[in-house]
Structure 1
């Protein structure tokens, strides 16, 4: 036997019925804080700024990134030859 029950209600009504807490205030605060942080860090995401920060890390960083890209292109794992 198969029984289907359709209930039409708003998310708020469902939350209240199930006994779940109302987190709309917390969600609004979280979204506002994330918006502030994103706005404050937008200048760091500009390509020129990113390249400048990456290039100041030196040649070893570039070798490491190129090695990771090579491994990804080859489909290999990051196994070490050292035992």
Structure 2
């Protein structure tokens, strides 16, 4: 037996239905701090690395994840 359920809702409605917290204020604060930091100086890999280390200390494994994510996004598509 196969049952398919289709739910048509916005991301906000889905978040509320699943009981997930609203992280919009945290996201807005993070982006504001990133803009303030980058407005003060030219963005360099060292600056971005320092920002992530000071805002979200995730250790070496987390930094490797971010490094791989950014490097894969900068490679041309095959």
| TM-score, scaled relative to structure 1 | 0.48
Report deviation, 1:2.
1.5
Where structure 2 has 5 or more consecutive residues not aligned to the other structure, the ranges are 45-78
- The separation in 2 between residues aligned to 1:12 and 1:37, in whole angstroms, is 29
Of structures 1 and 2, the one scoring higher in RCO (CA 8 A, sep 6+) is: 2
The number of residue pairs the alignment matches comes to 44
Report deviation, 1:6.
0.8
Deviations along 1:32-54, one digit per CA (max 9) or x if unpaired, are 11111111121x75xxxxxxxxx
Structure 1 or 2, whichever has the larger Rg, is: 1
Residue number in structure 2 paired with 1:10: 10
State the 4+ residue runs in structure 1 displaced beyond 6 angstroms: none
Where structure 1 has 5 or more consecutive residues not aligned to the other structure, the ranges are 46-83
